[in-house]
Amino acid sequence: MADFTIKSEEINSVNVLSVGGYLDAHTAPQLEQAFDDLLNKKKFKVVVDFENLNYISSAGLGVFMAYIETMRENGGDIKFSNLKSDVYEIFDLLGFPVLYEFFADKEEAIKKFEEQE
């Protein structure tokens, strides 16, 4: 099975999680761990960069739903950037764009956070 990769970095007080590979029920716990780490550090502004992500399953989608409320309650958010068209299609079908903000690249998403301040 294809692997999942995740990288966390902080750019201008916004945390960027760059995900890659396959995000499904088996790899979702890694993403959960990354979100938990951010919560422990009281970091609530998150951009998830999908540049290298090839596939997302319903379990992967569920992870974002699980953390979005906490982030928003603490004045933060989860924003998405750089989605490949077929991955975006999955988010789109589910109605995510109504609930979350999507950006063409992570810089734009970070800029949006800065504007909101």
Task: Give me the residues that bind other proteins (CB under 8 A), please.
Answer: 2, 24-25, 54-55, 57-59, 61-63, 65-66, 69, 86, 90, 93-95, 98-99
81 vs 104: CA distance, rounded Å: 5
Name which of 6 and 68 has its Cβ closer to other proteins: 68
90 contact partners, CB below 8 Å, separation of at least 6 = 56, 61
Please state the closest distance from residue 110 (CB atom) to other proteins, in A.
Answer: 25
**Taking phi first (over 0 means left), then psi (-120 to 50 degrees means alpha), and beta for anything else, what does residue 42 get?**
left
Residue with token string 């992967």: 60
Please state the closest distance from residue 41 (CB atom) to other proteins, in A.
Answer: 20
Please state the closest distance from residue 107 (CB atom) to other proteins, in A.
Answer: 28
